[in-house]
Each structure stands twice: as C-alpha cells, then as structure tokens.
Structure 1
C-alpha cells in the first residue's frame, strides 16, 4: 500500500486514475460473504453486479463454486481482482449476459444507486434460480477517531463537497432505506468494515469519490487543499495509523 509514500500536496492525492479504486477502496469483512452464502440453499453460482474491481466478487469465490462479476466499466474490469473461479464480464446491470435460472445469489455492492432498478430487478428475477436471494449492499459514511478528526471530516463531507455529490448519493447516505425493494426481506446481522490507516490511505480513498472528481472538474481545488491542510495537522505524522470504520447496510430479499 502507498500509505508510506511522502505526502506533499493535496493534488498528489486527489488526482488519481482508475487504479486508485482497486488500491484504496476498503475490503468487506469476510463475514459478509459467509453470511450471504448461508442465506441461499445451494452454493452453485453467485453474480456480483456493478462489481467494480471485484472486492466482494473475490470474497464470494471462497463460498461459491462459480462467481461472475459484471460491471459496465472496462477500466474497473481491467483492475479487478483475479481468482480461479471468478469470471468478469463487461455489461450493464439492466442487461445481464446470463442464462435464465442460473444464479443462486445476486449481489450489488455500493452500486445499486446507479442502476435503473426496475429493469435490474427484472433481470435479477430472470437469472435467479429457485430459492435465490438478492442483496443490495452499501456502507455508511466513515467514522474516525479522535473526535476533532471526525468533526473536520463531517464538515468536509456534508458542507464543503456536499453540493458536488450526485443525487444518487443520498440513497447511500440513507442506507438504501429509501430504495424501492419489491422482495420478501431477510434480516441481517450488524457488520462493519474496520481498518487502521495511515493518512495516505485515507486520502487515496477520498480520491475515488465521485464528488471529489466533480470538485476538481469545477476548478474548486481550494476545497481539497483546505481540507488536506486541516486534516494533516490533526492527523500528525502521516505514517501514524488511526482507526476507521464503515457500518454496512443491506436490503436483502428472496427472489
């Protein structure tokens, strides 16, 4: 990981390419894929839609005989994590290139807010086998310690770059509770993503945000520069490791 690299200016961290997603997005806990596998009767085929670089896809491969990761971005697929029983396909969520009745589990992790969901649901029903489950997964805004670090981050997230978030982001912030979900719902246990990061890892993660890209496109690099200055002062040594967590939210249902 590049957390030990010298941290010089905000531009170094807020001007990343597609590979930053694979480097800096936090991995899901292993318990998530284990739990998802337990919700379905068989463990034949899992389909991860909007898979990005395959963070959840790869973990599902430890639980299912076959896993298919699908994403419309060729760049994301090119940077996806490889695994012996994972196949990646480039396609939209609304046109899954899969046969009828072929999937035991259909997941969409941090992606369903971008879909045309009625069309995606039609496709999910089509490719689902008997007893299949659909899971829309998201993770909440990150939590940091100490409190002054959290306070500065909250101001940055809600007030400074808040206007640059696309409208779909509000669905993530609500834990997908406002998403239409026409399925018999299944309860799930509380889970969090927990990491201990250096400052460079945090900044690399922020560089993957759509709002950060839009700030740069709008010529408002000053917003990022000010946050970088303040967060660096609070963090202290850039190689200091501090705890960060993201609560996991789900809409889980029977197809």
Structure 2
C-alpha cells in the first residue's frame, strides 16, 4: 500500500469532503450484524466516526502515523498503525469492512486474502470513494484542464481506478446493486483551493518542480467567486458493496 498522505495530513483532515448521511443510512439497512466493524485506510477517521454510531466497536487502521494523529475520537473506536494487507486481527472478527478512498492503493490480492481471513461469514464489505469534483460547466472545464494537462503526468497509476469509477477494481465478493449517492456541499474559494492542495499529483508536481501549480491556477478561479462567496460542489460517490461468502 502506498502512503501519499502523511505529508500535509492536517490539510487532508480539513479539506476532504464528507460522505453523505444517506449512504450510512443505506449501510445500516444492508449490514446484517452491527457488532464489530473495521475501517481500513481510515485516514483521519471520518468514516470510522460514522461507523461508531452504528456498530458497538470499530477498529480503524492506516499506515500513516501523521494521519492517525488527526483522527476523530470516540470511545468505541480503536485506531492502530497497520497495513491493510497484514494485520494483527484474529480470524472471523468483523461484521463489516469499509475502505474509503483508499482501496485503489492496496495490493488487491493480499488485501482480499486478509478480508477473507478476518471477516465473519456474510460480513459486508464496502469500497467507497468519490470521483472528480463538479461545480459548474465553465469551472469544471478549467479544473479538468488542470487535472489532465497541468498535473496529469504526476498522478500515480492507481488514480485510473478513480477515473474508471471503481468499476475496474477486482471485487471477489457476492456483489449487490447499490443506489447512486452524491456528496454535496457549499465551498468558498479557500476550501476549494485547500482541497486541490490535497491531491497527490499536486504534491508530486511541487516536489519535482519546486513550485505549487495550484498557486498559479488560483487566479483562474477567482472570477467564479466574485459574485458569490460560496459555490455548490458535488462528487459522485463510487461504491462497490457485497458480502463475504
């Protein structure tokens, strides 16, 4: 598993979008037992916190110590520094396993072997993510140009799974058809800039070129915030769900 998010973990915690409550309501309706959940690649614990409202106990893991230092705390969440592909969890432990905006970084074969080992029979597994930001036709065109033409060569190869809406990720489980969900929120210019600065390709570009491309790009976005301080932004939720057999 790659670690692209230890640096600037404070930005990641502050500017990454939150998953919609409708998704968690759906998860509640689907999961069979609500005893123990594992949130794998937890980052700042955003999903783990929501799971803690559903499950009696939540175990949340990540390979980034700096991300774990930013986590949202709850009495029934236990965070630990562990790779997705090899944990110290006992066999047949979990009723639900979630992976939010992280599974594309994993070694699929090794991770799924660990899922099979640690999940109870008929446990739910949910690979969750979100696609490119959508705001308006004109602004989306500018952001897409930045995404593909300015920093396009600096994305890790695994980013393709996001662009392919998680449809090409191997998923060896009894998959279920899910509703479509969207992340929707209102952001000001500072929030949008902050989010763009969390992109791994921006970090790679900056490291290689010694300058942050978002700073140059910011001037192109300013006109879109002159007449309104906030803009409605949305992200398509990427979702693969199924049961361990």
On whether the aligned pair clears a TM of 0.5, the verdict is: yes
Q: Which of 30, 36, 51 pairs up with 1:45?
A: 36
Q: 1-side partners of 2:15 and 2:60: how far apart? A: 19
Q: 2-side partners of 1:103 and 1:162: how far apart? A: 38
Structure 1 runs of 4+ with >2 Å offset = 220-226
Structure 1 counterpart of 2:213: 223
TM-superposed CA distance for 1:232, in Å, is: 1.5
Q: Which of 8, 12, 18 pairs up with 1:21?
A: 12
* Superposition TM-score, scaled by structure 1 size: 0.89
1:99-118 → structure 2 map (5 Å cutoff): 99-118=90-109
* Superposition TM-score, scaled by structure 2 size: 0.93
Number of residue pairs matched?
238
Q: Which of 96, 118, 124 pairs up with 1:127?
A: 118
TM-superposed CA distance for 1:17, in Å, is: 2.3
Kept after mapping to 1: 8 A contact 2:206/2:212: no
Q: 1-side partners of 2:212 and 2:206: how far apart? A: 9
Q: Which has the higher contact order (CA 8 A, sep 6+)?
A: 1
Q: Which of 167, 177, 180 pairs up with 2:157?
A: 167
Q: What are structure 1's unaligned runs of at least 5 residues?
A: 1-15
SS at match of 2:12: helix
Kept after mapping to 2: 8 A contact 1:105/1:132: yes
Structure 1 counterpart of 2:238: 249
State the Cα RMSD in Å. 1.5
Q: Which of 52, 70, 85 pairs up with 1:61?
A: 52
Kept after mapping to 2: 8 A contact 1:193/1:245: yes
Kept after mapping to 1: 8 A contact 2:193/2:214: no
Q: 2-side partners of 1:222 and 1:17: how far apart? A: 14
TM-superposed CA distance for 1:162, in Å, is: 1.0
Structure 2 counterpart of 1:10: none
Q: What are structure 2's unaligned runs of at least 5 residues?
A: 1-6
Structure 2 counterpart of 1:236: 226
Q: 2-side partners of 1:190 and 1:152: how far apart? A: 26
TM-superposed CA distance for 1:118, in Å, is: 0.6
